[in-house]
Structure 1
Amino acid sequence: MKKQKRKHTPEFKARIAFEAIQGIKTQNEIAQEYEIHPITVSKWKNELLSRMPELFATESPRKNAGKDREKDNLQRKIGQLTMEVDFLEKKCEQLGIPVKGRLS
């Protein structure tokens, strides 16, 4: 019978990687203590080290994605409102109604 693959939480992975970075114990000792493979400890350590600069970046990619999405929505809304104003100005002109507050 096959062994089921264990799923580890991000908190668990971070704790293991942090222990490996500290260097108090060897990766083999950490692996034995938590019953995981030493290569897994090494992978988590390398991933933590490679992603650390992202933690201190001025803006995260998630924030940028949210700003881009908001900007696209606002531009779409501006386009819609511009079309509505043009339509209403045209109808006012056809009906002979003066348009107040417009410089055109």
Structure 2
Amino acid sequence: EVYLKAYDTVKQAKQSIAEYLDFYNMIRPHSSLNKATPNEFYDQHLLKVMAA
């Protein structure tokens, strides 16, 4: 949506981009990450590193 919309203010554009990044990193599962979100994948990797 970000690239399809003309925003009235920079503040609106920044808010929309932040919302999309939250969706992309916290909600949207990624097939290349075995259906995990990037945040879930990072958390799982971090736990493995800390346990090593």
Give the alignment's TM-score, normalised by structure 2. 0.42
Asked which structure has the greater RCO (Cα within 8 Å, sep 6+), the reply is 2
- Higher Rg: 1
Give the alignment's TM-score, normalised by structure 1. 0.23
